[in-house]
Amino acid sequence: MVLFIAMYFGFTSLTVIQPGETKVLQFLGRYVGTVRRPGLQLTTPFTSKRRVSVKVNNFETHELKVNDSDGNPVNIAAIIVWQVADTAKATFAVENSQHFVEVQAEAALRHVASTHPYDNAAPGEESLRGSTELVAMELAQEVAARVAIAGIEIVEARISSLAYAQEIAHAMLQRQQAAAVIAARSMIVEGAVGMVEQALRRLETDSVVQMSEERKAQMVANLLLVLCGDSRATPVINTNP
Q: What string of pLDDT tens digits covers the 241 residues of the chain?
A: 767 666 666 666 778 888 889 998 888 888 888 888 888 787 878 788 888 999 999 999 999 999 888 888 889 999 999 999 999 999 999 989 999 999 999 999 999 999 998 887 777 788 888 888 999 999 999 999 999 999 999 999 999 988 888 776 666 676 666 667 777 777 777 777 787 777 777 777 776 666 667 777 777 777 776 667 666 656 665 555 5
Give 216-235 as a DSSP string.
HHHHHHHHHHHHH-SSPP--
Element (H, E) at 123: none
Does residue 217 share a domain with residue 128?
no
Mark whether 111 and 188 lie in a shared domain: no
Q: What CATH number corresponds to the domain at position 98?
A: 3.30.479.30
Whole-model pTM: value is 0.68
Q: Which domain holds residue 36?
A: 2-53
Region of residue 234 (phi > 0: left; psi between -120 and 50: alpha; otherwise: beta): beta
195 in any annotated domain: yes
Q: What is the pLDDT of residues 11-41, one digit of tens each?
A: 667 788 888 899 988 888 888 888 888 887 8
- Whether 205 is in a domain gets the answer yes
* 84 plus 146 within the same structural domain: yes
- For residue 20, is it left (φ>0), alpha (ψ between -120 and 50) or beta? left
Residue 237 is assigned to a structural domain of this protein: no
Query: How many domains would you assign to the chain?
Result: 3
